[in-house]
Chains A and B, each alone.
Chain A
Amino acid sequence: MHSIPGRRLIMALFLIFLLLPIYWLVNMSFKTNTEIVSTMTLWPHTPTLQHYRRIFTDESWYSGYINSLEYVIINTIISISVALPAAYAFSRYRFLGDKHLFFWLLSNRMAPAAVYALPFFNLYSAIGLFDTPWAVALAHCIFNVPLAVWILEGFVSGVPREIDETAFLDGYSFPRFFIKILVPLIASGIGVAAFFCFMFSWVELLLARTLTSVDAKPIAAVMTRTVSAAGMDWGLLSAAGVLTIIPGALVIWFVRNYIARGFALGRV
């Protein structure tokens, strides 16, 4: 009764539609450039690892991944640590302007990155953070902090209030209660929130590219270098693309039941 006739066929077709372009990217990344340009082959006939080898040995390439990971990790740590107390406050208390604050956070999650690109550029140049991972990490807070607040608020609300009250009766101070009792109870929620902060910071390109030039260049910006006088280096571009998909693909299994929740700002 849950489902519709022909569901297996529909699902299969849709999954093929999703996987085919990804397969093509993987396929290209194992081909030599001569094979890519000269023939149309459905799988690599002369498989090669040359593109991956180049990425892992050429510093200008692998440093792109390191730079990206750096700001993504800094951003995730900042977002989660400021969002935790706020999530507790939103879940447990009513206070002056709480609804307005909540709306204001939402509006920042929705703000187009293009609007902020130029002012961020000015701001971070003025305070000397331009071209450092900190600039990108702080800039990404604008959409990741609200997201973390929402996801965590849902998980904190799932903890019965009696637990807080018992802890305070037992003489726990607020910080001790928070770290010793609340955080372990919502550990899985923190994991989910961290995953989404990681992911949204990882997939964003516009701000990351605008706020860096040489030293902190993210992988997404490095990838645009494959255009050269000799034409596109399609194999290298594909290999770099495949490597950016891997972090998401690795953890996807553990968060599969929370995906909808993360994208719907914890509202599902």
Chain B
Amino acid sequence: MDKTVNQKAWFLVLPVFLVVAFSAILPLMTVVNYSMQDTFGNNQFFWNGVGWFKELLDPSTDLGGRFLASLGRNLFFSAVILAIEVPLGIVVALSMPREGWSVAACLVILALPLLIPWNVVGTIWQIFGRPDIGLLGYVLNSVGINYNYVSNDVDAWITVIVMDVWHWTSLVALLCYAGLKSIPDAYYQAAQIDGASRWAVFKAIQLPKMHRVLLIAVLLRFMDSFMIYTEPFVVTGGGPGNSTTFISIELVKIALGQFDLGKAAALSLVYNLIILIVCWVFYTVMTNAGADRPAKEGAA
């Protein structure tokens, strides 16, 4: 559908622009301002130039060390949950019932974890994993596996990862299911006539058709896992030690815990820049995938 050029459309967009600008640009200016200054309290500020940024990127300083360590943990976390959630999500989507009431029932149960407040997700796993009162922790310990997410790093990591898989795999599954549903029956009939194996059907029909939704799923999961805060904070509080302290947790600790405005602001800007770059990739991929879609369908 061709859109007409109409500059008056700006009037329709203006309310959105104002509301979002108020909550995005104004605060961001404060951050930029703080990131160049140092404060010793009493609202006295001193010019610090790019000092904080230098410190941030230098692993030998306290700030730099903390930032790079939490960045590393975040990247590792994102990689692990993507490696689990994407294949699992595809398998679950392929396992959806074909028709009848069970489709609706499965959709509802799948969507349930997505709609639980994030701190309650944390609470659920905090309770479920405890060795004394939680089913998971109790069962694991009674079969002889020594599991305690409060004191053991590895157990804490496993808990946080399983929690994320529990929370978000449904999203990948629902997106893939939406992609699968858009495949016309004729494709399957053609494959049946050709005597294609199930694997061939998956590789030649289903996977290419899920390509777009999978991209969206991967990018969404990457971004959201990159800014994860509430769930690990509730379960482990970033511990034991610093082992599950992700960037957001570190940032809140510096900003609202120590009120170290300059450091927090510099960290915020770098963090935001990373997000912005990933976001740009996301946008480009999304618009390109959207642009060549009608052409492909026209050819098919």
Contact = CB atoms under 8 A, between A and B. Distances in A.
Interface of A: 1-8, 10-11, 14-15, 17-22, 24-25, 28, 36-37, 40, 42, 78, 81-83, 85-86, 88-90, 92-96, 98, 101-108, 110-123, 138-139, 141-142, 145-146, 149, 157, 161, 199, 202-206, 210, 220, 223, 234, 237-238, 241, 244-245, 248-249, 252-253, 256-257, 259-261, 263-264, 267-268
Contacts of A25: 123-124, 127-128
B268 A115 contact: yes
Contact of A103 (B198, B256, B283): B283
B213 interface: yes
Among B119, B177, B188, residue most surrounded by chain A Cβ atoms (within 10 Å): B119
A1 B192 contact: yes
Interface of B: 1, 3-10, 12-13, 15-17, 19-20, 22-24, 26-28, 30-31, 88, 91-92, 94-98, 104, 106-120, 123-125, 127-128, 132-136, 138, 166, 169-171, 174-175, 177-180, 188, 191-192, 198, 201-202, 213, 216-217, 220, 223, 226-227, 229-230, 247-249, 251-252, 255-256, 261, 264-265, 268, 271-272, 275-276, 278-280, 282-283, 286, 290
Contacts of B198: 1, 4-5
Contact of A20 (B26, B114, B133, B135): B135
Given A21-B128, A95-B10, A115-B31, 8 more contacts: A17-B166, A18-B170, A37-B133, A108-B20, A111-B272, A139-B23, A260-B177, A268-B175
Contact of A2 (B98, B110, B113): B98
A173 B111 CA distance: 41
A17 B280 CA distance: 35
Contacts, number: 304
Nearest to A99: B287
B251 A115 contact: yes
14 contacts: A11-B106, A14-B169, A18-B113, A25-B124, A86-B13, A94-B9, A106-B283, A114-B248, A114-B271, A115-B268, A142-B20, A220-B120, A241-B120, A260-B178
B174 A260 contact: yes
Contact of B19 (A78, A202, A220): A78
Contacts of A19: 109, 112
Contact of B256 (A86, A139, A210): A210
A2 B180 contact: yes
Nearest to B223: A110
A252 to B, nearest CB: 5
A141 B20 contact: yes
B229 A10 contact: no
